[in-house]
Amino acid sequence: MPTEQHVGMPDVALRTFETAVQNATRLDAAVRTLGGAARHALLVRHALLATSADLGAVRALILGGTAAVVASRPDDTISLTGRLAAAGLAGAVPPRVGEALEAIWLRDVRHTASLLNAAEAAGHIVAAAPASSDSQRAAALAGAMCLAKGGLVAAPFLTVWQLDAAARSAAVQVDRSQAWSEWVRAWCSLLAREATNATHALRTAEEQFAAERAMARSSPRTGGTDDLVLAWLHATLTFTIRDASAALGLSTPTVGTSIARLEKAGFAEELTGQARDRVWTSTALLKLVQTR
């Protein structure tokens, strides 16, 4: 979408665009406040939204990563269509759209301009392709990559996964007459809503962290140890006794007993179902991963 079209964007579209930028910036600040575990959790959430996975897949993604997450990392050395292909979505990108997507990907933009790139990338895909779950998924991943590549968010964890009636109608207008303003307005409105929902989920997780640590510290006998172990649980999406023991300077039996108490209290959930080499995650982070 040429720059002059942005300059001439109707006021209602421009206001929606500005709201989307503000909400995305607010989400990114919340992610940075909570740290690496929250960022990792949102990347897994991003992959789950892309694949419509069940709870079993949630555990698998947390434990082992996912092609969708790897494909969506904004690496300039791999083409945008190449990353979509790595996520199994090559067929969702119409051949005539590929060149346009590469041109968008190669632009040297920063921050708010990346939102227009993201909207344009998504719009090219959904306007040119028949409506399908694959074209929607490809559009969402392309948009997420553009937002992260331009620096509006730190990683590709924000995108528009489901189009409403207004966005579908706007996509038709793009396909027929290259009228982009209504598409940008509709897409930005959905993105602003998604950013608000994700920020709320992060704040809920942050409040849950604080409540859990306060409860752990309330025990005069074990509170100090459980507080340390719980802080590590909150800081890492996957928790193992061996890693926590090395990081915290506590014996493995001490960490093992503490995580058992935290699991019983409902603060941790074991993911493998195994007797050995067990892995836990924070229940608050697990809820964040599954937030829609």
Q: Taking the domains of the chain in order of start, what are their residue ranges? A: 3-199, 203-290
Q: Which residue has the higher pLDDT, 4 or 27?
A: 27
Does the pLDDT at position 7 exceed 80?
no
Among 66, 72, 41, 45, residue whose Cα is nearest residue 138: 72
Our measurement of the distance from residue 162's CA atom to the centroid of its chain's CA atoms, rounded to an integer in Å, reads 14
Whether the full predicted model's pTM is greater than 0.75, yes or no, is yes
* pLDDT score of 4 more than 70: no
Mean pLDDT of 179-189: 94
| pLDDT, tens only, 219-275 | 989 999 999 999 999 999 999 999 999 999 999 999 999 999 999 999 999 998 888
To 5 degrees, how large is the angle CA 132–CA 123–CA 139?
Answer: 50
C-alpha span between 254 and 244 (Å, rounded): 10
Architecture of domain 203-290: Orthogonal Bundle (1.10)
Q: How far apart are CA 24 and CA 109, in angstroms?
A: 16
Distances (CA, A) of 198 to 82, 84, 250, 283, 286: 28, 23, 35, 17, 14
